[in-house]
Structure 1
Amino acid sequence: MTETIALLPHALPTCANARLALFAMRRMGAHGLADARASHAMFTAFGQGFRRPLVLMRTLMAELAATAAGTIAIAPCCCARMTPAESVLLAVLTRIETAPDVVQLLMADLLGVRRVESTLMAAAALSAAFADEGRPFG
């Protein structure tokens, strides 16, 4: 049990919208950007307005993969806890509008690079898409 808590130290978010984003990140991270279950979850949550959040989630995941200097640890979808990297990603999505300086440092630490502007733009667009569809993070 203590090994699990050491590897997955963070509890799942209480926000249903953050849990949806986490699910989509986990599925796309493990099974590719075109994962059908991630697409179905976004369609179920957003209805006809699913395309923008889905495309922006794919964009964020592609930016993370292209920019990261190392690997980003993600847990399987069935895990009831989060990795530190997943926690940082959700913190970035939640705080991108209110604390841009903080999220820039968080993202730079996560990715191991200094230039994270393109990744932050993708995160900001995704956060805005969720909010515009009535599913803000937080």
Structure 2
Amino acid sequence: MSTANSIAQNTAAALPHAMPPCANARLALFAVRRMGANGLSDAHVAHTFINGFGENFRRPLVLMRALMADLAANSSCPIAIAPCCCGRITSAESALLTILARAETAPDSARLLLSDLLGIRRIDGVLASATAVAQSFADAGRPIAA
């Protein structure tokens, strides 16, 4: 097997999903990736939210920070995130975007996905954070679609 084939197979295994077509989901994904790599107070995320949400950027930004803190504090296993430059997404990122898309419309489905993602049963607090993020995006006219 050639080295190029091996690299392609490893990349496909690590990043099995395509980038979401929804611009709002990509904005949420950008925030997850940047905050996951650089911390909750990442200036690029704040700048992107100011550009994306205008003067109403604070609520989605603060709630996204709270969600990321909840995910980090409550997860019993690592949550794989890819670098911002990747054009594909990990299974964990795909699950998180699906959770955000379903938090308001299909909460039972979001609950099961979040429980699987975190590896714990009691996810009510984290689910409330995810729902708040989804609501803040929708209230700003940027609903997240999976």
TM-score, normalised to structure 1, is 0.99
2:58 to 29, 51, 57: 51
User: Where does residue 4 of structure 2 map in the other structure?
Assistant: none
C-alpha separation between the residues in 1 aligned to 2:125 and 2:40?
18
Larger Rg: 2
RMSD (Å) for aligned C-alpha atoms: 0.5
Per the TM alignment, residue 63 of structure 1 is displaced from its structure 2 partner at its CA by 0.3
Question: Tell me, which stretches of 5 or more residues in structure 2 are unaligned?
Answer: 1-7
C-alpha separation between the residues in 1 aligned to 2:21 and 2:47?
21
1:6 to 13, 33, 38: 13
TM-score, normalised to structure 2, is 0.93
1:68 paired with 2:75, answer yes
Q: Deviations over 1:83-109 (max 9, x none)?
A: 000000000000111111111110011
- Flag as ranges the 4+ runs of structure 1 deviating above 4 A: none
Correspondence list, 1:29-40, <5 A: 29-40=36-47
Q: How many residue pairs align between the two structures?
A: 138
Question: Tell me, which stretches of 5 or more residues in structure 1 are unaligned?
Answer: none
